[in-house]
Amino acid sequence: MFSNLSSSLLLFAITVHCVLSFRVDERNMGRWDIDNSVKQVEPTPEYAEYPIIREMRGEIGLAFDRINQHIEVIIERGRMSNGLSDPPVKNRTECAVSKEELVKLRDQIQDMMKNVSSTKGSCDYPQGTVDNCDSWLRLIQCGIEELGDGFKNATSGSATLEEISKWKNAYNTLLDKYKKDIDNVRTSLSEEYQKKIDQLTTELENLSNAITKMEEELKQIYVKLCVSQLSSGKYDDAVAIFKKLRNDTLLDEIITRAFNEYGQKSNVNNIIAFVKKLPRCALDKRGFPVLYNLMKASQTLVKPEVVTFYQAVRQCMCKSDLYNELAKLAA
């Protein structure tokens, strides 16, 4: 009876604390009782420690170079007169690209480069070209070359996922512009060189897929490292890695892997401590239901872990159904 009375008093005290607590971070002001304790750590290793990332980066660099060479071939062959042997252009029609479209493309490339680097780049309206289609290809080539150099430099050391995503998005912006306008260039070329344009389009799309694949590969490395750190009790390191991911939805995968791969019940307290260290209540509201469902499915909603869980949930979720359910289990 004394034991039951003590448990009831403990739960009453916790509930009162929950009612009196006011969480200002719901207005994006930060978690007042947690954020200050998180150290600024940088546990992410250099790229050199990830051979697969190094290899993918090298392949992407070569793909940028090949694309530039491919565009150069199309441009230079396009300069040949119809009187030369094996002419690339036969009965070439008038280019459908206007001067205004060229200026717009130039401005878009310069704006794109300013968004990912400190300068607008060197791409400008080409001089001495055969026609506007030639100029359009030159501008595209210049944009690809500058993006390639920027991507190589950005990923030459321990660049973050944010850096890779930034350059990937810039590349895809140029690719979208290319695909939108390429038909105006194709119509001025022979059937043979229309096929070369189609091959170039495929190469550009394949490069986009390769950059995305590299981004996803590094993301999974970060997830795995985050799971390892939190399961070892290195919560500050785990939080720092999670912030690098810049994707709240990956919290589901991190918690699931930490639970399933590190002993389920034995890792519950580590998962709880990690989630409590995260800087926003929205992450509690995302992560703790995932943990609850995992524990319920594995029949590990038992004391003392469930009491610790209940106490953690009260910080941000004291009016939730999850809080009420844990209160019953902890009683």
Q: Is 173 part of a structural domain of the chain?
A: yes
Angle at 211 between CA 62 and CA 48, to 5 degrees: 75
Which 3 state secondary structure label does DSSP give 146? helix
- Give domain status of residue 220, yes or no: no
With respect to residue 46, please indicate whether it lies within any of the assigned structural domains: no
Statement to judge: residues 302 and 210 lie in one domain? no
Whether residue 200 sits in one domain with residue 58: yes
CB atoms within 10 A of CB 132: 21
187 is in which domain, residue-wise?
51-214
Whole-angstrom distance, CA of residue 119 vs CA of residue 87? 40
Asked whether residue 238 is assigned to any structural domain, the reply reads no
Based on the fold, state whether residues 88 and 173 are members of the same structural domain. Answer: yes
On whether residue 225 sits in a domain, the answer given is no
**Side chain identity, residue 152:** K
Domain stops at, among 193, 214, 235: 214
Q: Tell me, yes or no, whether 37 lies in a domain.
A: no
Closest CA to 257 of 305, 218, 223: 223
The amino acid occupying position 90 is: K
Number of domains in the chain: 2
> DSSP string covering 41-69, please?
---PPPGGG-HHHHHHHHHHHHHHHHHHH
Verify that 97 and 172 share a domain, yes or no. Answer: yes
Where among 167, 195, 214 does a domain terminate? 214
* Same-domain pairing of 68 and 163: yes
206 lies in some domain:
yes
pLDDT tens for the chain, 331 residues: list them: 444 444 454 454 545 445 444 334 443 333 323 333 334 444 444 444 578 888 898 999 999 999 999 998 888 776 543 333 344 444 556 778 888 999 999 999 999 999 888 777 788 877 766 688 888 999 999 999 999 999 988 887 766 788 889 999 999 999 999 999 888 887 777 777 788 899 999 999 999 999 999 999 989 999 999 999 999 999 999 999 999 898 999 999 999 999 999 988 889 999 999 999 999 999 999 999 999 999 999 999 999 999 999 999 998 999 999 999 999 999 8
The Cα 147–Cα 142 span in angstroms is: 9
Say yes or no: 72 and 192 in one domain: yes
> Which of 61, 55, 208 is CA-nearest to residue 148?
61
Q: What is the pTM of this model?
A: 0.78
Do 71 and 15 fall within a single domain? no
